[in-house]
Amino acid sequence: MIGTTLGHYRILSLLGSGGMGEVYLAEDTRLARQVALKTLPALVAGNAEFRERLEREAKAIAAINHPNIVTIHAVEDCGGVRFITMEVVRGKSIAKLIPVVGWPLNRVLDVAVPLADAVASAHQYGITHRDLKPGNVMLGEDGRVKVLDFGLAKLGDSASPAGEAATQQATQVGQVLGTVAYMSPEQAQGFPVDHRSDIFSLGIMLFEMATGRRPFQSTSVPGTMAAIIESPPRPLDELKPDLPYEFARIVRRCLGKEPSRRYQSALDLRNDLDDLRQTMASTPSAQVLARRAGGATHWWRWIVAG
């Protein structure tokens, strides 16, 4: 499509592609601006379910006005090609930015607080993302976090009167949607999910941002799914012994196997993360309570990384 036009959009380059769509950089010749243009992959462009998902993504994003969620401009059709136009986010996904040993905790929190705030805003509109992962979170050149790709979003009644019915038609019990490494146990089993599934995914991302590793890993997809469903997460202090107890507590609470054992809202998670960030900012050198696997309690001197 590069070099061609769709209506008044001139396709300039491919920004990214995946099973749910292809995203191009395009020039809006009417308004003299650049936009991101998302179309369905050619192999599924005529598939009614995939077209419905594209529409659902547009509705999900359009329902939310939040600085950390990508802004949608329009849903359009040209020559039988259905596409979304949205703001261009110049930067990189955090999947490409997380070092192999993870970020310092202050950096993790600078990303995690606006990320959790964006997810909390989506949940307030009755929208469950269902595919939160580092590849769907951009860090812009201006330093702003942006959540992308609501193609698998579940819309509740507050987002659209017909949202839940449409979602149930598109996602039957027993059908697994999302990225395996970041799924909740209920999602991995094909069970119905709610907003607390996103909180589990955020817990995996927090763990990975801090350590460079994921809490549930295997050499195979079935093995990863089994670990998510059955195994406890790897203890954070095995990889980063200097992480404070409070951060480990937050991550553990996100990763409860049962939704009832997790944070019950992303806003509560966001507030705990922000409280920790403020504590770090106000106390550069702090005594942090750390509990080890054996149950003993120790005080450790923790110097905030710069």
Q: For the segment 233-291, what is each residue's pLDDT rounded down to a tens digit?
A: 999 989 999 999 999 999 999 999 999 999 999 999 999 999 999 998 887 554 444 44
Confidence of residue 8 (pLDDT cuts 50, 70, 90): very high
Query: Considering the domain 91-303, what is its CATH architecture?
Result: Orthogonal Bundle (1.10)
Cβ neighbours of 109 (radius 10 Å): 23
293 has pLDDT over 50? no
Higher pLDDT, 1 or 70: 70
pLDDT reading at 49 higher than 90: no
Provide the pLDDT for residue 164: 41
Our answer to whether residue 131 is catalytic in this structure is: yes
Note if the pTM is more than 0.75.
yes
For the stretch 144-178, pLDDT in tens is: 999 988 766 677 643 433 334 334 433 333 344 45
pLDDT greater at residue 197 or residue 153? 197
The model's pLDDT over 31-40, given as tens digits with 9 standing for 90+, comes to 999 999 988 7
Rounded-to-integer distance, Cα 270 and Cα 123, Å: 13
- The sign of the dihedral angle between the CA atoms of 124, 126, 130, 135 is negative
What is the rounded average pLDDT of the residues 201-218?
96
- CA 32, CA 10: separation in Å to the nearest integer? 11
Question: How far is CA 68 from each of CA 64, 105, 116, rounded to the nearest angstrom?
Answer: 10, 20, 10
β-partners of residue 78 are: 81
State pLDDT tens for residues 77-129: 887 788 889 899 999 999 999 999 999 999 999 999 999 999 999 999 888 98
41 band by pLDDT with thresholds 50, 70 and 90: low
117, 131, 149, 198: the active-site residue: 131
Architecture of domain 5-86: 2-Layer Sandwich (3.30)
Q: To the nearest whole percent, how much of the chain has pLDDT over 70?
A: 80
Beta bridge partners of 6: 9
Domain ranges of the chain: 5-86, 91-303
Instruction: Tell which wins on pLDDT, 24 or 22.
Output: 24
Distances (CA, A) of 67 to 100, 122, 145: 29, 12, 8
